[in-house]
């Protein structure tokens, strides 16, 4: 643009610019930005617009391809494309039996959504071909080939995120903020997007807000009013509808978006292992994150003088040793066709193989499943009935715990309980006046063959 500020016929260039975004226009104008006192200081005359009309001889290009799901793509072109060619399914093709899209939706003048009938396979690279898509000047994109790799969204699995600290009874406080909190920890080397994870505490259920948790990271979960007090300790996240934690203990579970158990713990106030710390102001800390399935032996009251270590490594951190595989502690026949096998430790959501279970006398097993969320009880259902007054011997092979210990074989016995009849059970001994320091007791005796 040339200007004549002195009105003497000498024009000075104000600069030049090339607009690479707009090639067509029906109008031309000048925008003036001014204050009210300068509104009469503009004068334009002899505006001349010259040049040759723009002609496009280049075919449209691909700006980017977005993988939206296991059966859809979004294509972004470098310029506007015609509807007749960009929404023609025969112009797009994906190899490995994916084929042409069955539905195409325009998302603008230069982008489309492609929907395929067949689904992409996780961690698989595909060839994607485009042929015959035209821009507004009839330039055609022909024989374009590229590749993309589909990676299925990662769903947080068992043990990926742990609850490593519980402040269930913050009053009377020691030094940490006098609010309940939970600490979650990522013990892996992966980065997780905690999406749609549910927190269950007793009878209460809430959802953890979506957040990124880095490897070896600690996140503080708390109620809205407590966030500002915990921000100086680390990353504090508001949990809506915060579930009040039971001082004496309760079952807590983390579930992923498929309602699968990520972590569970059923704490009690005996886990503090200290009469000076079990009545408020001290948190419970997990001792060794390598053993997330362990219960009481892996938890203890915080040893930090402040009463807890929210948002950082636990003060009670130590290395536990577990070299033994899980064993059967008892077996209870809860019906004539089913038993519950109780293990001496949690084993994680492992598959229980029917072929690894042996029973003598023989019973036909139709199902064997591990109970969730504690993962220390196995429900076994039989096709044949359990005979009364018969002792059954059961053995299970290759049970493995969360630490990777494999029990080659563990065994126990069970019998079918029967209803008691008159005088089957009798009171056999009574102590109603014990000596000082003693206690009352009643002894019952089963004198039947049941």
Question: Which pLDDT does position 372 carry in this prediction?
Answer: 87
Scored b (16 or more CB within 10 A) or e, 305-338 reads ebbbbbbeebbbeeeeebeebbebeebebeeebe
pLDDT at 369: 94
pLDDT for position 26: 72
Q: How many Å apart are CA 365 and CA 337, to the nearest integer?
A: 9
Give the DSSP letter of residue 110: T
Mean pLDDT over residues 371-396, rounded? 94
Q: Which of 189-198, 406-415, 437-446 has the lowest mean pLDDT?
A: 189-198
- Which residues are 430's β-sheet partners? 442
Say if pTM beats, i.e. exceeds, 0.75.
no
| Bond from prior residue into 160 cis (ω within 30 degrees of 0) | no
3-state secondary structure 67-103: EEECCEEEEEECCCECHHHHCCHHHEEECCCCECCCE
The domains located in the chain, with CATH, are 62-150 (2.60.40.1220), 162-301 (2.60.40.1260), 328-414 (2.60.40.1220), 421-450 (no CATH)
Q: Which residues contact 2 (CB under 8 A, 6 or more apart)?
A: 11, 12, 13, 14
Res. 23 pLDDT band, cuts 50 70 90:
low
Nearest to 29 by CA among 15, 14, 49, 9: 49
Q: Looking at residues 170-186, what average pLDDT do you find? A: 96
135 close to 79: Cβ distance less than 8 angstroms: yes
303 confidence band (pLDDT: 50, 70, 90): very high
Q: What is the pLDDT of residues 24-45, one digit of tens each?
A: 677 777 888 888 888 777 777 7
78-111 confidence digits (pLDDT tens): 999 999 999 999 999 999 999 999 999 998 889 9
User: What secondary structure does DSSP assign to 271-320, as a single string?
Assistant: GG--TTTTTSS--EEES-TT-TT--GGGEEE--STTS--TTS--TT----
Check residue 255 and give its pLDDT: 95
Neighbouring C-beta atoms of residue 131, cutoff 10 Å: 15
Task: Supply the DSSP symbol for 105.
Answer: E
pLDDT average, residue stretch 418-446:
96
Q: What is the DSSP string of 204-215?
A: EEEEPPPEEE-T
């Amino acid at each position: 643009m040339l200007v004549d500020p002195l009105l003497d016929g000498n024009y000075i260039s104000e600069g030049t610019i090339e607009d690479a975004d707009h090639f067509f226009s029906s109008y031309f104008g000048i925008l003036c930005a001014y204050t009210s006192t300068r509104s009469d200081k503009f004068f334009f005359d002899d505006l001349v617009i010259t040049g040759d009309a723009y002609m496009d001889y280049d075919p449209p290009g691909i700006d980017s391809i977005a993988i939206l799901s296991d059966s859809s793509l979004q294509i972004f072109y470098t310029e506007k494309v015609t509807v007749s060619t960009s929404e023609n399914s025969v112009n797009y093709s994906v190899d490995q039996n994916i084929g042409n899209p069955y539905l195409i939706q325009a998302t603008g003048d230069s982008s489309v959504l492609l929907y395929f009938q067949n689904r992409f396979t996780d961690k698989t690279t595909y060839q994607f071909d485009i042929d015959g898509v035209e821009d507004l000047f009839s330039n055609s994109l022909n024989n374009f080939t590229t590749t993309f790799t589909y990676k299925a969204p990662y769903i947080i699995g068992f043990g990926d995120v742990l609850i490593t600290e519980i402040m269930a009874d913050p009053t009377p406080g020691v030094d940490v903020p006098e609010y309940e909190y939970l600490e979650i920890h990522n013990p892996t080397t992966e980065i997780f997007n905690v999406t749609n994870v549910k927190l269950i505490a007793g009878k209460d259920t809430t959802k953890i807000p979506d957040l990124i948790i880095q490897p070896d990271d600690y996140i503080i979960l708390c109620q809205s009013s407590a966030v500002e007090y915990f921000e100086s300790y680390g990353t504090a996240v508001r949990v809506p509808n915060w579930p009040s934690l039971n001082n004496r203990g309760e079952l807590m579970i983390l579930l992923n978006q498929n309602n699968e158990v990520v972590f569970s713990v059923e704490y009690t106030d005996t886990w503090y292992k200290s009469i000076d710390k079990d009545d408020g102001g001290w948190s419970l800390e997990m001792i060794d994150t390598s053993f997330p399935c362990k219960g009481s032996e892996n938890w203890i009251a915080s040893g930090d003088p402040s009463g807890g270590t929210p948002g950082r490594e636990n003060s009670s951190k130590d290395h536990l040793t577990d070299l033994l595989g899980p064993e059967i502690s008892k077996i209870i026949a809860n019906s004539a066709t089913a038993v519950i096998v109780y293990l001496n430790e949690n084993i994680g959501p492992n598959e229980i193989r029917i072929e690894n279970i042996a029973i003598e006398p023989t019973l036909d097993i139709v199902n064997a499943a591990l109970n969730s969320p504690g993962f220390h009880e196995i429900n076994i259902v039989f096709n044949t009935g359990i005979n009364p007054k018969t002792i059954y011997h059961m053995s299970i092979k290759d049970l493995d715990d969360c630490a990777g210990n494999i029990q080659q074989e563990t065994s126990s016995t069970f019998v079918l309980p029967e209803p008691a009849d008159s005088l089957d059970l009798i009171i056999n001994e009574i102590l109603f006046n014990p000596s000082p320091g003693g206690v009352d007791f009643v002894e019952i005796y089963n004198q039947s063959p049941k």
